[in-house]
Structure 1
């Protein structure tokens, strides 16, 4: 019944305030871009830093809530792109940051075919598939890379934009997530609320439970199968005799029936 949540966020410079907000988002794996830290980024309460790529102007990091589930991690960053990977007991998760002027390229990475492959981060590329008006060379390169690696993008035009430009007063979608196609139906994507001091919104991929719990209405109901009908009849008969046969006594009669029913018929609701 439990789900697994992967969160990605371009911090535009990690701060203690942002760390506190990110800690409250309850991610199992947290991928950060643009930490602006050459050394290790700061601690996030409840999370463990697994791997980071230091850079004063960029910088990436991956945190996890339970480090015992991460047997390995790697930094595949090259040619200006920051690519960090952690392998958990159930899936492979890769954080991506492509600076705007850097052409999109992808190193040779071999991932297990039997595990879901999650690639998430800031791709800084334009493509009509994920909501832009036109394609640029990076957007076409990302589209071709996804197709050749059998990756599917969980994107809906109804989702909120992942980036809001304060200068141009427009929204865009540089932050993307890709899932191995055979595991695509097991995940759902959401876009979070804005975080101060960053124009990006966090995006999350969350596993869907095999069985989804449904909340029933918490309205108490009488269990007539377990009612003590004989006692109910005796109590009601003994108390009705004191009521005058007059329409004005109806409300009193109704309350009396309710009182006797509560006493002799179990009452509750399904969980």
Structure 2
């Protein structure tokens, strides 16, 4: 169990289906794994299942194959979805982690900006952080005003909401005839009571989109069961030493009653185990997927170099080169995954170890061989956040179910 600040990643991905492998690798390479990832414009429909290892996903898909929202929350955090009444012109997905509400918003640039489009913000004026692409412009966070921006600014002012962004742009327009190359579209907003604990930074990574990833840190400690306990390695146990240790301990013990005997025997077993059975060492660092190779790294580096050059000049040839390498990078990642899977399938035979086969199959999706027990929710209330409270909550539940009254 650890108490740590929450880390959020916000990204308008412009379609997550083909960009998810690179997002997984980006998250893997971060020094600190984010706790919540919020995506706008996912372009997903029901039949597409997109997952991130170690995260629960909340989705709101758009049936028109456009827009769409997703929130990935670390499994160890007690997250629940919240329903908000919103007009049809705006997409909103909201969850809560403890007493903190997290809201993900997308509003299409072609949506009609109704006067009451932002009324839902009234319910987020206390202990809330809002992330979204409102496609709005206002001098308070950008370089010009539009009607939607003025309506949004008034809603922030009325509900005591604070914009966390600095002047760093979050959107890059690479069209050859673009007048404004950069704009600040992806906003991070917090209620006044938590805004002083938040810090927002814009990265220089697009990952194939035209929006930069934005990282926000909420400096308030949350209980987060992220550590896997070291387990006993029985294959390397010295059972002879284990037996001798218990015999010596029991010979020197004096038995008073049943309770004392139980306590003494338990202590003898644990002392003998610690001295004769080693423990496996576990690293919280999740290994990368096996199909990510040097070719994928080179493709990403080449695309990034082309992006930095285009960013300096915006010459038509540099823009074309960046778009070409962006496409090649995406194809390389998908091709590498396909080729690695085909090679693995061709290596299978009837004498293989099936446990190892399934381990490799899971690793292709980045799935680990163990699962964190999620927080226990009973009657809509989170009653278990650490391992001990989870066990107690389950024991009380099964005790109630098995009682004579049932």
Match of 1:59 among 68, 72, 89: 68
- 1:78 positional shift: 3.3
Change (3 A) 1:58 1:41: farther
When the two structures are superposed, what TM-score results if normalisation uses the length of structure 1? Answer: 0.69
Structure 2 residue runs of 5 or longer lacking an equivalent are 222-406
Question: What's the counterpart of residue 13 of structure 2?
Answer: 11
Q: Distance in 2 between matches of 1:60 and 1:42?
A: 12
8 Å Cα contact 1:120/1:175 also seen in 2: yes
Change (3 A) 1:91 1:140: same
Change (3 A) 1:36 1:135: same
1:188 and 2:199 are equivalent in the alignment: yes
Change (3 A) 1:195 1:181: same
- 1:109 positional shift: 6.2
- 1:80 positional shift: 2.5
SS at match of 2:4: coil
- 1:11 positional shift: 0.5
1:78 and 2:87 are equivalent in the alignment: yes
8 Å Cα contact 1:93/1:117 also seen in 2: yes
Question: What's the counterpart of residue 42 of structure 1?
Answer: 50
Question: What's the counterpart of residue 97 of structure 1?
Answer: 106
- 1:3 positional shift: 1.4
When the two structures are superposed, what TM-score results if normalisation uses the length of structure 2? Answer: 0.47
- 1:50 positional shift: 2.4
8 Å Cα contact 1:30/1:62 also seen in 2: yes
Change (3 A) 1:83 1:18: farther
Match of 1:173 among 156, 166, 184: 184
The structure with the largest helix share of the pair is: 2
SS at match of 2:209: coil
Question: What's the counterpart of residue 33 of structure 1?
Answer: 40
Match of 1:88 among 97, 107, 120: 97
Q: Distance in 1 between matches of 2:25 and 2:204?
A: 11
**Mean alpha-carbon deviation: is it higher for 135-144 or for 54-63?**
54-63
- 1:208 positional shift: 2.6
The 5 Å alignment of 1:112-151 reads 116-132=127-143, 134-151=144-161
SS at match of 2:193: helix
Q: Report Cα offsets for 1:17-75 as digits up to 9, x if no partner.
A: 24424543522111111111122551122221123233411111111012651133336
How many residues get paired? 206
Structure 1 residue runs of 5 or longer lacking an equivalent are 211-271
Higher Rg: 1
CA RMSD of superposed structures (Å): 2.4
Q: Distance in 2 between matches of 1:112 and 1:12?
A: 26
Change (3 A) 1:196 1:68: closer
Q: Distance in 2 between matches of 1:87 and 1:33?
A: 18
